[in-house]
């Protein structure tokens, strides 16, 4: 396991359409502070896709958020880690497993969606997700 001496966290954010924009702004500010602006574009793209996936998974067929049985919005968190050369991006959500999990799709040319994780797979050194013990959600 690599050592990541630099860490910065954002959240909780409501899993709403405004979240990817907030997450991109956070990436820009933190990478500037860390002197890693050369990695900002690709990191903003990755974090946009990951947070947009949480927003999509948090939205019901009627277009409204999937409030939990206490009436609370699904939430997400972004964690950025670095060893001064490489970056690790984590996006956490508190969605129940029944909502589904991240799976790379391979859409045909006429399909309008299903390219986010394919792009992440291509642009990152590695990616994955896991459920977190004691936590109903997951970390991607
Ligand atoms: N955080 C998540 N929680 C639950 N399911 C997810 C999550 N991220 C991805 N998925 C599942 O993985 C599938 C593939 O994600 P991917 O980002 O590749 O495509 P998409 O979001 O459907 O479309 P696009 O990213 O092209 O707009 C999603 O359709 C969804 O079923
Ligand atoms: Mg997506």
**Every domain of the chain and the residues it spans:** 6-139
Pick the CATH number of 6-139 from 3.40.309.10, 3.30.565.10, 3.20.20.70, 3.40.50.300: 3.30.565.10
> What is the helix (H) or strand (E) element at residue 7, kind and residue range?
strand 6-14
pLDDT per residue of the chain (140 residues) written in tens, 0 to 9: 579 999 999 999 999 999 999 999 999 999 999 999 999 999 999 999 999 999 999 999 999 999 999 999 999 999 999 999 999 999 999 999 999 999 999 999 999 999 999 999 999 999 999 998 888 899 99
53 CA closest ligand 1 atom index: 8
Which residues form the pocket of ligand 1, taking CB atoms under 6 Å from any ligand atom? 49, 53-54, 56-57, 93, 95, 99-103, 105, 113-118, 140
Q: How far is the CA of 96 from the centre of ligand 1 (A)?
A: 15
Identify whether 12 is preceded by a cis peptide bond (ω within 30 of 0).
yes
């Amino acid at each position: 396991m690599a050592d990541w001496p630099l860490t910065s966290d954002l959240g909780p954010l409501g899993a709403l359409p405004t979240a990817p924009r907030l997450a991109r702004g956070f990436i820009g500010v933190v990478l500037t502070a860390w002197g890693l602006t050369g990695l900002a574009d690709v990191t903003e793209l990755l974090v946009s896709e990951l947070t947009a996936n949480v927003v999509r998974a948090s939205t019901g067929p009627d277009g409204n958020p999937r409030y939990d049985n206490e009436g609370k919005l699904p939430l997400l968190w972004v964690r950025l880690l670095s060893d001064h050369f490489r970056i690790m991006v984590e996006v956490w959500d508190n969605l129940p497993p029944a909502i589904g999990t991240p799976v790379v799709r391979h859409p045909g040319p006429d399909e309008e969606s299903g390219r986010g994780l394919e792009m992440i797979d291509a642009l990152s050194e590695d990616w994955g997700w896991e459920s977190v013990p004691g936590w109903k959600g997951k970390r991607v």
